[in-house]
Amino acid sequence: MNLDFPTQEALTHCITDTNVPGFPKPYKGKVRDVYVLDSDKLGIVVTDRISAFDHIMKEAIPFKGQILNQLAAFSFDKVKDIIATHIIDVPHPNVTIAKKCDTIPIEVVMRGYLTGHAWRVYKSGKRQICGVDLPEGLKEHDKLPNPILTPATKAQEGHDEDISEKEILSKKIVSPDLWNDIKEKAFMLFERGSQIAAKQGLILVDTKYEFGLYNGQLTLIDEVHTTDSSRYFYLKGYEERQAKGDEQKQLSKEFLREWLMDNQFQGLEGQDLPDLPDDFRIKVFERYAELFEMLTGSTFKPQLESNLNDKLVSIFKDAQGQSKT
Ligand SMILES: Nc1ncnc2c1ncn2[C@@H]1O[C@H](COP(=O)(O)OP(=O)(O)OP(=O)(O)O)[C@@H](O)[C@H]1O
Ligand SMILES: [Mg+2]
């Protein structure tokens, strides 16, 4: 990846925190700063913050916000015939103007492969996850006979917890009708995401969807099929690597998780968050950019941003103005 400016510039221009004069304080998620623009509109700023194991790293990744926001915009567009999406406008590489939805407090995780959390559950001897039965004889990263839905509760704090469909219904988190709708959409979305990935030489391993209601309509929110919400493998050589027991080449976020584990950090109590060295931050950026380019088939063009807060004032005012006309 050739940048038009020195890498040092990129490292020092990371967007870690926004504060837009004249607008109420944003809700700060791990990655996004979310501004309420009016009763039905959000201004979502995707920052360069990066999290892993539910911890925000001390250092940010250059242009990660732009890559993620634009990848989400690309992917939302590819699924809008399946379900209404929250996108109103993407007026800046870091910003999405979105429909303000009542969020459904479930992380709707879809898995096509036995990887990550599902593999850890399986390895511990269990043959069921979120109430879904798993066959005997699988190894890490094997393809599952069919994609499975493994929902998790969206915890206010700390780790999200697995939940079964039965519990979702018995706890009345959503009505049975709405749940059926969510399930149907999740399977359709995962199929679409897998097809798009395959065309580009990738495997969509697993992914997380978030849904909300906008004027009572089920709507896909947050982000979709991005490298933060999904795992991808390279399709080429996948079968051979599985047969030989070789590692699958991991992309972007998994690359960070592995580095952290090599540096004795898994988000457990008493462990210290390591500093991310500059050269590693650049490597992570390159992985994100590579995946963006593979998935979208277009080159990522970074936009060096020196005064985002000021720009956000006019972007947000415009968005507010549009709703009044
Ligand atoms: N269209 C939308 N309407 C309402 N809320 C939304 C919408 N899109 C995203 N959100 C919420 O905005 C927040 C985005 O911030 P971010 O992704 O950084 O948070 P997170 O750390 O993943 O999650 P959380 O803050 O909920 O723990 C999430 O809480 C997400 O559920
Ligand atoms: Mg999130």
* 227-246 per-position pLDDT tens digit: 999 999 999 999 999 999 99
Distance 80 CA to ligand 1 centre (A): 20
Q: Compute the distance between CA of residue 312 and CA of residue 34 in angstroms, rounded to an integer.
A: 12
Q: Compute the distance between CA of residue 180 and CA of residue 195 in angstroms, rounded to an integer.
A: 23
Name the closest-CA residue to atom 6, ligand 1. Answer: 222
Residue 117, ligand 1, Cβ within 6 A: no
Among 57, 76, 22, smallest CA distance to 226 is for 76
Residue linked to tokens 């001390």: 58
Name the closest-CA residue to atom 23, ligand 1. Answer: 29
The tens digit of pLDDT for each residue in 84-131 reads 999 999 999 999 999 999 999 999 999 999 999 999 999 999 999 999
What residues does 111 pair with on adjacent strands? Answer: 148, 206
pLDDT for position 160:
82
Grouping H, G, I as helix, E, B as strand and the rest as coil, residue 297 is: coil
Closest-approaching ligand to the CA atom of 213: 1
Q: Compute the distance between CA of residue 251 and CA of residue 302 in angstroms, rounded to an integer.
A: 20
Q: Compute the distance between CA of residue 70 and CA of residue 200 in angstroms, rounded to an integer.
A: 17
Q: How remote is the C-alpha of 242 from its chain's centroid?
A: 26
First to last CA, the chain: 43
pLDDT for position 157:
67
pLDDT for position 128:
98
Residue 33, ligand 1, Cβ within 6 A: no
pLDDT for position 325:
47
The tens digit of pLDDT for each residue in 273-298 reads 999 999 999 999 999 999 999 999 99
Residue 30, ligand 1, Cβ within 6 A: yes
pLDDT for position 79:
98
Residue 210, ligand 1, Cβ within 6 A: yes
Residue 319, ligand 1, Cβ within 6 A: no
Q: Compute the distance between CA of residue 235 and CA of residue 249 in angstroms, rounded to an integer.
A: 10
Residue 13, ligand 1, Cβ within 6 A: no
Distance 5 CA to ligand 2 centre (A): 30
Q: Which residues of the chain have pLDDT under 70?
A: 1-5, 156-158, 323-325
Buried b (16+ CB within 10 A) or exposed e, 104-113: bebbbbbbbb
What residues does 28 pair with on adjacent strands? Answer: 33
pLDDT for position 305:
87
Which helix (H) or strand (E) segment holds residue 94: the answer is none
Name the closest-CA residue to atom 19, ligand 1. Answer: 29
pLDDT for position 254:
83
Residue 34, ligand 1, Cβ within 6 A: yes
Grouping H, G, I as helix, E, B as strand and the rest as coil, residue 184 is: helix
User: Degrees (nearest 5) of the Cα angle 241, 243, 248?
Assistant: 25
Helix, strand counts (H, E) of the chain: 9, 18
